[in-house]
Structures are given as structure tokens and as C-alpha cells.
């Protein structure tokens, strides 16, 4: 028998959280990345919508500034070594260039909440729900969504604005997030929910 799940309504002040839409993940020439123009485009359209309504926007990036940060994670995935402060790979994809007033959260691990001040910033801004997008679905997006729930934010995942190097992992994690942690739906449906307000 399936567990009961009850969708929660979109809040009055949703924020868009773009997880690691950075060159290192959107460019297939980086060992961590994959070419995903359709995911970038879906994020661009959501960005345009949130900006048009003056809703908060938060980007995240992965940066390791010192050798003692995320030691075990980096030992497990040596390609993370390219994500240094001066690297082109840690910069937001230029197709999604940040605008004044938008926030960049630096993180060292998978979740956008873990050992960052994202939750505090969201609370201070009066944000009551999140729309999460980004890369990768099975990694940093999922970790962020789980921690969003654990931080008491009603969370939505824009399925077409997320991507993964492994299509099966992408599909399975969207299914699992929808079952337990968030409402997963196309960007177009999210936009309609916010517009209906």
C-alpha cells in the first residue's frame, strides 16, 4: 500500500534556488560536467519569470578554498579538485548571468544548506516556499531538496530544469523526491501555480 502524501500549496513569497548551474557542471569539457542546453534553457525561462515578479533568486556554486574543506568528499571524487576560487568552472553559466540583488551561496558539499547560511537568508527575506532546479538531480539537487524539507520550506522541483549525467538516476530521484520530500512538476506548471497566487 502506498504511503499517503499531501501536496502543500505554493507560498506567497517563493524563491528560486538554482543549484550549481555553473560552468563546471553545464560544460561537457569539464570532467564533472555534461552538455545540457535544454536544462539551461528551462532555468533561463524560470529566471526570467521570477525576475519579472521581483521574487528572490539564489544561485549556488561549489568552491573549495582550503585543503581542509570537504576532505572525504574530495578524496572520493578527485575531479572536485578543479573547483577552486580562481577557476572558470565555479562561475555561474553565463547564459544564466546573475543580476544585482541575486544571491550566490558558496558550498563545499552536496546540499545548498549544509554549513551555509542559506536557511537564514531565506528566513530573513520572508521566503515561505522554494522552487529548486539544477545539477545534478541525484546529487546536489536531491540533497538540497531533503534539507529544504528539513528546514521547513515547502519545496517544488522543476523537473525539466534539473539534469543528471545518468538518465536513470535522474528519473529515479525525481520519482523519490516527489514521493517523500517535494512536489515535482514541469516549470510551466510551477509558473501557473505562482501566477494564480
Residue 40 lies in a domain: yes
Residue 1 lies in a domain: no
Number of domains comprising the chain? 1
Residue 172 lies in a domain: yes
Residue 8 lies in a domain: no
Domain assignment of residue 102, given as a range:
14-196
Phi, psi of 121 (to 5 degrees): -65, -40
Look at residue 197 and tell me whether its pLDDT is greater than 80: no
Look at residue 132 and tell me whether its pLDDT is greater than 90: yes
Residue 4 lies in a domain: no
Cite the active site residues: 140
57-103 pLDDT tens trace: 999 999 999 999 999 999 999 999 999 999 999 999 999 999 999 99
Residue 107 lies in a domain: yes
User: How many angstroms separate the CA atoms of 37 and 55, rounded?
Assistant: 24
Residue 2 lies in a domain: no
- CATH code of the domain containing 130: 3.40.50.850
18-32 pLDDT tens trace: 999 999 999 999 999
Residue 55 lies in a domain: yes
Amino acid at each position: 500500500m502506498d504511503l499517503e502524501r499531501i501536496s502543500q500549496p505554493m507560498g506567497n513569497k517563493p524563491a528560486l534556488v538554482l543549484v550549481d548551474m555553473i560552468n563546471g557542471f553545464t560544460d561537457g569539457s569539464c570532467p564533472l560536467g555534461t552538455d545540457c542546453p535544454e536544462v539551461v534553457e528551462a532555468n533561463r525561462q524560470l529566471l526570467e519569470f521570477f525576475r519579472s515578479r521581483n521574487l528572490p533568486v539564489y544561485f549556488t556554486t561549489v568552491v573549495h578554498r582550503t585543503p581542509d574543506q570537504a576532505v572525504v568528499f574530495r578524496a572520493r571524487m578527485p575531479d572536485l579538485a578543479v573547483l577552486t576560487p580562481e577557476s572558470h568552472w565555479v562561475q555561474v553559466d553565463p547564459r544564466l548571468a546573475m543580476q544585482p540583488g541575486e544571491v550566490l551561496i558558496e558550498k563545499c558539499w552536496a546540499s545548498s544548506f549544509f554549513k551555509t547560511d542559506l536557511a537564514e537568508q531565506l528566513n530573513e527575506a520572508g521566503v515561505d516556499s522554494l522552487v529548486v532546479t539544477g545539477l545534478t538531480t541525484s546529487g546536489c539537487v536531491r540533497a538540497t531538496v531533503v534539507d529544504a524539507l528539513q528546514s521547513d520550506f515547502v519545496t517544488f522541483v522543476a523537473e525539466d530544469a534539473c539534469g543528471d549525467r545518468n538518465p536513470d538516476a535522474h528519473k529515479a530521484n525525481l520519482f523519490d523526491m516527489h514521493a517523500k520530500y517535494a512536489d515535482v512538476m514541469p516549470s510551466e506548471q510551477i509558473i501557473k501555480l505562482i501566477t494564480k497566487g
